[in-house]
Amino acid sequence: MDVVTDRLFRHLTWANSYVFDAIANQPDEYLKLTAPNDSWTVAEILEHLTASRYADLLDQAGDIPTQVPSNKSEVLTLKQLSATFDARLRESAKHPIGFVEFQRDDRTIRRNRETILTQAIHHATEHRAQIAGIFANHNLKIIDLDEIDLWGFANYEGLGD
């Protein structure tokens, strides 16, 4: 795997971990917060971000069911699952070439492995931002996206300031 791809998957795990920790340190009722005109709660988005579907498409090791968390303990359990799925994705990134076929609603879908890997990173970034936005909409500064950008990650790994 090239160094850029490896760094992006390491960042994925690190940034996801930050979000789980930030949420786990809040009152349980914050898991029920939503954005205006949206029914998805912080907890539902966190579970959706975690789901192993992308990892399973790539490694066929199994789609492990996840639960929407309702308290700190369940958030931390989901964090552990997320880390295992992120590790599976990083391992799958060593073999980006090829296609995956799967069934959905009585039809066969064919996806490029590179697209699945790229989408996995984008998907997590999108939902971290969505959760941060929900908190911001409620005047809560819980997730600072600037703290988990690639500059911050470089500093974390000792490759920056």
pLDDT digits (tens, 9 = 90+) for 113-154: 999 999 999 999 999 999 999 999 999 999 999 999 999 999
pLDDT at 104: 86
CB 18 within 8 A of CB 24: no
Q: What would the pLDDT profile of 79-117 be if each residue is shown by its tens digit?
A: 999 999 999 999 999 999 999 998 889 999 999 999 999
Read off the tokens for 59: 């490694």
Q: Is the alpha carbon torsion for 48, 119, 35, 85 positive or negative? A: positive
∠ at Cα 52 (93, 154), nearest 5°?
50
Q: In the chain, what are the domain boundaries?
A: 3-156
Helices (H) and strands (E) in the chain, counts: 6, 2
Q: Report which DSSP code applies to 106.
A: T
Mean pLDDT of 72-80: 98
Predicted TM-score of the model (pTM): 0.93
Q: What would the pLDDT profile of 14-57 be if each residue is shown by its tens digit?
A: 999 999 999 999 999 999 999 999 999 999 999 999 877 889 89
pLDDT at 61: 87
Mean pLDDT of 46-69: 90
pLDDT at 160: 76
pLDDT at 153: 97
pLDDT higher than threshold 90 for residue 161: no
Tokens 């490694």 identify what position?
A: 59
pLDDT higher than threshold 90 for residue 75: yes
CATH superfamily of 3-156: dinb family like domain (1.20.120.450)
- CA–CA distance, 66 with 61 (Å, rounded to integer): 15
pLDDT at 122: 96
